[in-house]
Amino acid sequence: MNIEETLKKIKFDEKGLVPAIAQDVATKEVLMMAYMNEESIKKTLESGYATYYSRSRQQLWKKGETSGHLQEIKGFYYDCDGDTILIKVKQIGPACHTGEYSCFHNPVVEYAFEEDMLNKLFRIIDNRKEN
C-alpha cells in the first residue's frame, strides 16, 4: 500500500473532506458515516485505527480515543469515482455515541425480504467471477 498513491485517487470536496462509511467486518452492518481529510486518511492507514475529521470541532478525531470504542481497520476501499471511502472495521464496543451498536438505529420503513431464486443465482455467479 502506498498512501501517497491512494491520496491521489481520492476526490476531496471543496472543504478538503471525503465521506467515509464504516462497516462492521464481522456482522457487515453499516455502523456510521463521518468525514476524513488527507491527514486523517494517513493516520487511519498508518495507525490501523479509524481516524476522522470532526467538522464540529475542526480537528482530527481518533474514533474511540476517549470512549475506548476503537475501530480497527480490516479493509479500506474507495469507490468508482473516488469520492467516497468505505472502511471495514473490527468495532470495539458500540459505534454510536448514544450507546447503540450502529448509528443507523432509526427505521422509517422496514420490509420483509425473501431473496428470489433469480437474484440469488445472479449473486452466486457474480461472486464466483470475483473470487
Question: What residues make contact with a second copy under the rule CB under 8 A?
Answer: 1, 6, 9, 19, 21, 23, 25-30, 32-33, 45, 73-81, 84, 86, 88, 90, 92-94, 96-98, 100-101, 103-111, 113, 115, 119-120, 122-123, 126, 130
Cα atoms in the 13 Å half-sphere on the side-chain side of 7: 15
Based on CB atoms, which residue is closest to a second copy, 16 or 93? 93
CA distance 54 to 15: 12
Cβ 83 to a second copy shortest distance, Å: 8
Cβ 99 to a second copy shortest distance, Å: 10
Based on CB atoms, which residue is closest to a second copy, 26 or 65? 26
Pairing verdict, β 18-24 and 85-91: parallel
Q: How far is CA 90 from the centre of its chain?
A: 11
Cβ 106 to a second copy shortest distance, Å: 5
Q: How far apart are the first and last CA of the chain?
A: 21
Grid coordinates standing for 14? 471543496
